[in-house]
Structure 1
Amino acid sequence: MEKIRPVPLNQKKILTPIQFIVLGYLLFAFLGSVLLSSPFALQPGVKLEFIDALFTATSAISVTGLTTVVTRDTFSLAGRTILAFLIQFGGIGIMSMGTLFFVMRGNQIRLRERLMIRADQNQISLQGMVKLILFILKVAILFELLGALILTIHFIYNYQAPFLSALGMGVFHGISGFTNAGFDLFGNSLLDFQQDYIVKGVIGTLLLAGAIGFPVLLESYSNLLSWRKQRKLRFSLYTKITTITFGILVIAGFFFILLSEYSSTLAGMPWSQKIAVALFQSLTTRNGGFSSIDMNIFSSSTLLFLSLLMFIGASPSSCGGGIRTTTFAVLLLSLKAYLEGSNHVKVFQRELYQEDIVKALLVFFLAVILIFVSVVALAAIENFSTTEIIFEVCSAFGTTGLSMGITGELSKAGKAIIIAVMLIGRIGLISLLLLFRTRRPEDSFHYVKEHIIIG
């Protein structure tokens, strides 16, 4: 009889990369809430309930921008600094900051760290992980510094702001803009800057850079270097699909807002302002969260269309959430292939893997279930219209941060639901699936296949 060996008590259970990443975001959200609720992080005389601190910290680490309090009136300089750090960590990914720490110490990036980076950035291959992370850090620093510099100078010379105040505003919004966090220190987002095209232009450029996807930026940079050496430009299928889908969604949102609100919300505005408002509002639904107009004055049809755009979200491996642009593109391409009578999805002289198509369907299916359950739960416990609830939930899932003003009026249970949706939106549904997926050996046999009636 074989002797059973007992498992040593001191044997540690090693976390998988996905579990480590999820635990990291949860830990940062909790630590952030503890710090933000501390007296030194608050304005004199202000008290913050722990649920509101947790909501704000989760919104920051998930770079959403939804908040139950007014950031400017609630947090001191120390609190705003903590908030900026949380936004930075959440925007470029926890493992990006971890990689920087490893590199600065001169440590070698081992396989386990590379697996964690791949999970955090939602990548497929392990190849070039460290290169991608270092590029993300360089791009983040470059865009945030340039944005902060331009905004600081603009606030000083055009709004006569004191240097330190202008610098603080510039740095905070440079970080919040590039990471698509949507947090602001103005008290009403960008409503006071509706005709300030410098502020909107800088923020809009930062939003675009942070939402298009870091692999796209890296590939574009590599192609720029190749073009300067008179080499042929070559873009991957991922970059082509991501860029085209991103552009189509921005243009679609722009025309929808312009046409649907032309005689109402945008009435009385000069053409230049109408175009600027429509374009900025379409771009910010990609995950920005900044708004140059009160969302409550939009029609229900516009709000529902913006909810759809927020549900789709930004590109993979970016600062944004949602189902991601590539998922949406794969679903449309699959539908197109089916209508054409083809069993294979082909685009740009390439054929998609069946596994990726199944993943896209799973992500969409789970996202719809998540949105539906969240909307029903909130409708049962909150006294808001269905449109307001759908808009809030889609904003949380897409980590966008746009709101119709109901966030601060949510009950504790309602805030808990939005907190969960924000975390899921930031972590990603694929990562969430892998978190619960069990490993099992390949089937040694198959049953006889049989068709069932569908539809």
Structure 2
Amino acid sequence: MNSKIENLTKRLSAAQIIVFYYLVAVVVSTILLLLPITQKQNAELSFIDGVFISISAVTVTGLSTADVSQLLSVPGTFIFTIILQFGGIGIVAFGTILWLSGKKIGLKARILMTTEQNSPTYSGIVRFIRMIFFFFVMIELLGAVVFGTYFLKYFPTWQEAYLQGFFASVSATTNAGFDITGKSLIPFADDYFVLTLNIVLFIIGALGFPVLMEVSQWLRHKGKTPFRFSLFTKITTATFFILIVIGAILVYLFEYSHFYSDKTWHQSFVHSLFYSTSSRTGGMAISDVNQFSVPTLLLLSIFMFIGASPSSAGGGIRTTTFAVMLLAIYNYAKGNRTIKIFKREIDDEDIIKSFIVFTTGMILCSVAVVILACIESSFSLMEILFEVSSAFGTVGLSLGITPELSTAGKVVIMTLMFIGKIGIFTFLFSMGGKPVKHAYHYPKERIIIG
């Protein structure tokens, strides 16, 4: 069996192998979810719903066709968190670290981890993944203790409080969007401590592993030797937090005289900040999202489409794609043919990549909206657009249509969640096979554009 898998992987490109591993993870997760030990007594889960929830867990999205709180037993809850952990860090990276722990990791595994994490170099990739693994585990354990201790005031027994705290910590850090309360974070809508802790964990999971590692290095070197952040970290961090601030302001303004009309200014502010962060990939809700106005729903859909940062637990087109694309448009309008920022110049290939990712993402989401509009006639266009954006961005927010989708509709959403997680380039390269070097080139000729 192992020899067959090795022969198969030799014929596949790195992107195709990653897709293969994620598919295997979905199959294994589906089998685990359908086991009697995973489910509560008298719980019913169809095969298609099992596949849907498995893909949502592996891609750490949070969309679900069944109430997970009514589905999972206590052992099932722990099994589910392990699936979320694999999905949050990355199937290939997490699996390789666990499987080859203490062994020498070969070039093939390094190539796969580099491709999955979208890293530009193989150098230090194993050390990087190990650091991420231990960092995430420590953050989740700390979050579980803090959540669990605090939840003692909400739940009748300490066992339930710490179980809820453990799951909440893993779900928030991996940006999974799942909950076992059955009501997302709505019961804690006015508890600013719970909301703030979730926001912090959302940011840790969505900011990007390379950024977190550079910040860690900066803290260790602070006051000792000069430290320079990479251009990637500067652009990622700036874009990430600018979007959070802009999102919070716009949600507040859109809902000031609507949903927030009966709320205090600090409630409105905290709720706006929460949704601005959660819509990027966290996927948790503190109110009925259906009560928001259309401008707010459109804004949240845009934010879900943009998603999190590269090499993070989130999906979407990613923040750097959005930033580079806007910078390219701005500079081109000014007559510049290069992008200079933070005393550095962005490579032309990265500019082209940003437009490829954005365009491909738009095409995929547009096609999905059209297909769902044809087969799911009972839903409004806003509901469909919101669901599609949430699936592609692996966010998990929904206007409540997920359980009512037809089998064909579920397949469309599952496909978007899968592509949103593995990334546009992995998706494109998986269809093209291994790259081929051409021995010759044709003469170049200009064409009219625009």
Which category of TM-score, normalised to the shorter sequence, fits these structures?
A: over 0.9
Deviations 1:135-185 (A, max 9, x none): 1112101210111001110111x2253111111111111110100001001
The answer to whether 1:221 aligns with 2:216 is yes
**Quick one: distance in 2 between partners of 1:31 and 1:376?**
32
TM-score, with length taken from structure 2: 0.96
Distance 1:232 1:161, change over 3 A: farther
**Does residue 23 of the first structure (1) align with residue 20 of the second (2)?**
yes
The aligned counterpart of 1:46 is 43
Which among 65, 81, 106 is matched to residue 78 of structure 2? 81
User: For residues 215 and 11 of structure 1, do their structure 2 counterparts lie closer, same or farther at Cα, with a shift above 3 Å needed?
Assistant: closer
Contact 2:244/2:273 (8 A) holds in 1: yes
Give the letter aligned to residue 258 of structure 2: S
Instruction: Give yes or no for the alignment of 1:297 onto 2:291.
Output: yes
Q: Is 2:377 the counterpart of 1:380? A: no
Q: Which moved more, 1:240-249 or 1:78-87?
A: 78-87
Tell me the CA shift for residue 309 of structure 1.
0.4
| Cα drift, residue 100 of structure 1 | 2.5
For the aligned residue pairs, the C-alpha RMSD in angstroms reads 1.6
| Gapped regions of structure 1 (runs ≥ 5) | 1-8
Q: Secondary structure at the match of 2:317?
A: coil
Moved more, 46-55 or 34-43: 34-43
- In the alignment, does 2:392 pair up with 1:436? no
Q: CA deviation at 1:39?
A: 2.4
Aligned-partner residue type, residue 107 of structure 1: K
- CA shift, 1:98, in A, is 2.4
Where in structure 2 are there 5+ consecutive unaligned residues?
A: none
**Which letter maps to 1:147?**
G
| SS of residue paired to 2:37 | helix
Partner of 2:333: 339
Give the alignment partner of residue 419 of structure 1, picking from 380, 394, 414. Answer: 414
What residue in structure 2 maps to residue 5 of structure 1?
Answer: none
Post-superposition CA distance 1:208-232 (Å, at most 9, x none) = 1000001001001111111142x32
Secondary structure, aligned partner of 1:39 = coil
Residue 53 of structure 2: aligned partner? 56
| 1:261-303 residue CA offsets vs partner (Å, 9 max, x unmatched) | 0111111111111111000010001100011111000011110
Change (3 A) 1:246 1:10: closer
**2:265: which partner in 1?**
271
Instruction: Give 3-state SS (helix, strand or coil) of 2:281's partner.
Output: coil
The answer on whether the counterparts of 1:52 and 1:68 sit within 8 Å (CA) in structure 2 is yes
Structure 1 residues 101 and 427: alpha-carbon distance in aligned structure 2, compared to 1, 3 A threshold: same
Question: Quick check: 1:254 aligned with 2:254?
Answer: no
Aligned amino acid, residue 413 of structure 1: A
In structure 2, how many angstroms separate the alpha carbons of the residues matched to 1:353 and 1:428? 20
Residues 147 and 203 in structure 1, CA contact (< 8 A), matched pair in contact too: no
The aligned counterpart of 1:71 is 68
2:178 aligned counterpart, secondary structure = coil
Match of 1:406 in 2: 401
CA drift of 1:134 comes to: 1.1
Looking at structure 1, the residues matched to 6 and 246 of structure 2 have their Cα atoms a distance apart, in angstroms, of 55
Instruction: Determine the C-alpha separation between the residues in 1 that align with 2:105 and 2:5.
Output: 27
Query: For 1:378, what is the secondary structure of its paired residue?
Result: helix
Any conservation in 1 of the 2:154–2:161 contact (CA below 8 Å)?
A: no
Q: Aligned pair in 2 of structure 1 residues 189, 449: CA closer, same or farther (>3 Å)?
A: same
The residue aligned with 2:89 is 92
Contact 2:21 2:92 in 1 (8 A): no
Higher relative CO (Cα under 8 Å, sequence separation at least 6) belongs to: 2
CA drift at 1:12 = 2.9
Contact 2:25 2:91 in 1 (8 A): no
Aligned to 1:131: 127
CA displacement, residues 358-393 of structure 1 (integer Å, 9 cap, x when unaligned): 111111111000000000000101110000000000
Deviation digits for residues 299-350 of structure 1, max 9, x if unmatched?
Answer: 1111011100000000000000000000001101100110111111221121
Residue matched to 2:182: 187
Corresponding residue to 1:110 among 91, 97, 106: 106
Q: Larger radius of gyration, structure 1 or 2?
A: 1
In 1, Cα distance between equivalents of 2:429 and 2:345: 25
CA contact (8 A) 1:57 1:83 kept: no
- Bigger CA drift: 302-311 or 76-85? 76-85
Contact 1:316 1:324 in 2 (8 A): yes
Q: Which residue of 2 aligns with 1:397?
A: 392
Q: CA deviation at 1:448?
A: 4.5
Q: Check conservation: 1:32, 1:82, Cα contact below 8 A.
A: no
Which residue, out of 337, 349, 355, partners 1:355? 349
Partner of 1:6: none
Q: Which residue of 2 aligns with 1:36?
A: 33
Identity %: 43
Residues 59 and 123 of structure 1, relative CA distance in 2, 3 Å threshold: same
Secondary structure of 1:41's aligned partner = coil
Aligned letter for 1:302?
Answer: T
Deviation digits for residues 379-422 of structure 1 (CA, Å, limit 9, x no counterpart): 10111000000000000000000000000110111011100000
Q: 1 CA distance for matches of 2:25 and 2:5?
A: 27
CA contact under 8 A between 2:61 and 2:177: conserved in structure 1? yes
